[in-house]
Amino acid sequence: MFSALTSRRSLRLVLQTRRLTSDLAPQSGRAVVPLWINGESLKSSTGRTVVHKHSKTGEETCEVVVAGKEEVDQAINSSKLAFQDWRNVNGWERKGILQNVGKLIRDRSNLLSEALLSDTIFSDLVMAQDQKSALHLLDGAANTAISVEGSIPQTVDGSFSMVLRQPYGPVLSIPAFNYPLTLALRSIAYPLACGNTVLLRASPLLPQFFQLLGPLFQEAGLPKEALQVLNFSEKDVGERVEQIIAHSDVRMVNFTGSVKLGKILAAKCGEYLKPSLMELGGKSVAIVLPSADLKLAANNILFGAFLNSGQVCMSTEQVLVHSDIAEEFEKVLKETAEKAQWGEGMEMVRHRSGDGAKALYDDAVKQGAKILYSASSSSSTPTSTSFPPTILSSLPPTSKLLKEESFSPLLSLHRLPSTSSIIQHANSHSTGLTSSIFTNDYREALEIATDLESGAVHVNGMTVHDQHNLPHGGWKDSGYGRFNGQGAVESFTQTKNVRFVKEGMLPLDLLYKGL
């Protein structure tokens, strides 16, 4: 529904955006996706260009201008200069700008969706939910802008102390691709709301989408240097990212993505002593207990597992069901999946994602896992970018799927004999982003929730959930730091103690006496 552009208004918006990429790369005839530095589109750079191909069709869709060392330095210098002014803009003005961003997104919903589909494939449901979530997040970030507060603590010596919260400075933001608008705006809006400026690393999977964001924020009233949007080539992305982290004027990093890459970035931040916020992947569990509404549990678990083809860091990957009801629940879960009548293959964004899911599936089945449900058929033709929604049971302890986040439509079910063994299994994984408990015994739910090593626990709801006034982030290998509300304030500002001394004269004559 989002790709159907029928109104004159939508057509005008499409033409406006196409003008941003109307210049053609020499000798190629492809549209150029520029860098966004110092409030201007740069259609050439020392980094040259790379060709982007649609993840599903393989068609060459555009030529992407990538930042070299010179452009990165230019972006950092612009971001630092902008910070000197942006840090002093009052919260109410920042709030108004972020609200303007929301209005522009509402006006350009079709345009944003068209840009996404130009480079990859997303379902109408995901794009609609993504835009709804992004608008909700912007409301939260706008309120965050007027919620940055300090404190006046009591002192033992009668002095007057103020604890201020102040922004860090230029922030490197690296969002994930899977909920593109929400995650991109989250990595931009919260740092800006707290008075920082942003260097945004655009996802290489969605260049035509990301190139809309710089002009959009500037039209909303953001000072032109406060947001830089940078594209990097695959061959030198590591070098360019380290260049940014190492630069003395860049003060913080926020990253959303895989545990593997998060650890690399966190280590690099540690090397240069830069604070960071890491929102990383997980292996989210849904726990089903004897008193649960089994139909509700099956419905929410399947939705949480297969939403966006399982390409959500909060996706339900494991179902831990009490053995007293395991046989009955397996039947309900299978029947619920069959009634959904899914197509044989769920499309994914990254090239060869389907191959990765198949490798995990083949490894598990080869070692003895049982297929409880699969949307595939004997005539199915697997592709490198799709995989059928699948539920496996009796997963061997040596299978890769037991430990690795699949980021695909794969769900595993595990029978466990007791509540204590369920908690032990849930906590045995190295990650802990989110989880669910299905039960009608709320005392039991709260007891289990306090024992789970997870950043969020949802009772009788799916594992996928985010709300702008609730802290979002993980435990253990799922990262540290928090987005949303007070969590964002604590993550994107630092404290400064300003103390007014009541009596300033000190007894110099007592120094060294009695040593």
Helices 124-145 and 485-492: crossing angle, nearest 10°?
Answer: 70
| Site of tokens 């990097």 | 232
Mean of pLDDT values over 144-170: 95
Domain 27-281+483-495 CATH class label = alpha beta
Give the confidence band of 20 by pLDDT, cuts at 50, 70, 90: very low
Per-residue model confidence (pLDDT) at position 249: 98
Residue 52 burial by Cβ neighbours in a 10 Å radius (0-12, 13-18, 19+) = buried
Percent of the chain with pLDDT over 90: 85
Residue 502 burial by Cβ neighbours in a 10 Å radius (0-12, 13-18, 19+) = exposed
CA 366 from centroid of its chain's CA atoms: 33
Per-residue model confidence (pLDDT) at position 28: 57
Per-residue model confidence (pLDDT) at position 331: 97
Give the confidence band of 8 by pLDDT, cuts at 50, 70, 90: very low
Comparing 11-25, 55-69, 105-119, 460-474, which segment has the lowest mean pLDDT?
A: 11-25
Give the confidence band of 377 by pLDDT, cuts at 50, 70, 90: low
Burial 96-117, CB ≥16 within 10 A → b, else e: ebbbbbbebbeebbbbbbbbbb
The whole-angstrom separation of Cα 77 and Cα 94 is 22
Higher-confidence position of 28 and 436? 436
Please say if the pLDDT value at position 238 is more than 70.
Answer: yes
Per-residue model confidence (pLDDT) at position 149: 95
Please say if the pLDDT value at position 379 is more than 90.
Answer: no
Ranges of each domain in the chain: 27-281+483-495, 285-459
Per-residue model confidence (pLDDT) at position 5: 29
Tokens of 422: 């369920």
Mean of pLDDT values over 283-312: 97
Please say if the pLDDT value at position 441 is more than 80.
Answer: yes
Q: Which among 34, 64, 40, 60 has a CA at the least distance from the CA of 50?
A: 64
CATH classification of 285-459, choosing from 3.90.1150.10, 3.40.309.10, 2.40.50.140, 3.40.50.720? Answer: 3.40.309.10
Dihedrals phi, psi of 48, to nearest 5 degrees: 65, -150
Distances (CA, A) of 440 to 97, 303, 450, 460: 44, 20, 17, 8
Cβ contacts of 201-204, under 8 Å, gap ≥ 24: 201/172, 201/173, 201/174, 201/175, 201/230, 201/232, 201/241, 202/229, 202/230, 202/231, 203/175, 203/176, 203/177, 204/52, 204/64, 204/231, 204/232, 204/234, 204/237
Give the confidence band of 382 by pLDDT, cuts at 50, 70, 90: low
Q: Which tens digits make up the pLDDT trace of 333-358? A: 999 999 998 877 888 898 889 999 99
The whole-angstrom separation of Cα 336 and Cα 4 is 32
Q: Check if 279 is active-site.
A: yes
Tokens of 153: 């603590």
CB of 95 closer than 8 Å to CB of 203: no
CB of 229 closer than 8 Å to CB of 210: yes
Per-residue model confidence (pLDDT) at position 55: 85
The whole-angstrom separation of Cα 117 and Cα 160 is 57
Mean of pLDDT values over 285-309: 97
Q: Enumerate the β-bridge partners of residue 277.
A: 254
Please say if the pLDDT value at position 443 is more than 70.
Answer: yes
The whole-angstrom separation of Cα 5 and Cα 266 is 43
CA 184 from centroid of its chain's CA atoms: 8
The whole-angstrom separation of Cα 192 and Cα 211 is 18
The whole-angstrom separation of Cα 65 and Cα 75 is 14
Give the confidence band of 6 by pLDDT, cuts at 50, 70, 90: very low
Mean of pLDDT values over 72-80: 98
Give the confidence band of 29 by pLDDT, cuts at 50, 70, 90: low
**Marked catalytic residue, from 63, 114, 225, 279:** 279
Per-residue model confidence (pLDDT) at position 511: 87
Per-residue model confidence (pLDDT) at position 424: 98
The edge-to-edge listing of strands for the beta sheet with 35-37 is 40-42, 35-37, 227-230, 197-201, 170-174, 252-257, 276-280, 479-480
Please say if the pLDDT value at position 26 is more than 60.
Answer: no
Mean of pLDDT values over 489-507: 92
Per-residue model confidence (pLDDT) at position 502: 86
Give the confidence band of 161 by pLDDT, cuts at 50, 70, 90: very high
Examine domains 27-281+483-495 and 285-459 and report if their fold is the same: no
Please say if the pLDDT value at position 67 is more than 60.
Answer: yes
Q: Which tens digits make up the pLDDT trace of 186-226? A: 999 999 999 999 999 999 999 999 999 999 999 999 999 99
Please say if the pLDDT value at position 11 is more than 50.
Answer: no
Average pLDDT of every residue of the chain: 92
Comparing 54-58, 209-213, 234-238, which segment has the lowest mean pLDDT?
A: 54-58
Give the confidence band of 127 by pLDDT, cuts at 50, 70, 90: very high
Comparing 228-232, 350-354, 482-486, which segment has the lowest mean pLDDT?
A: 350-354
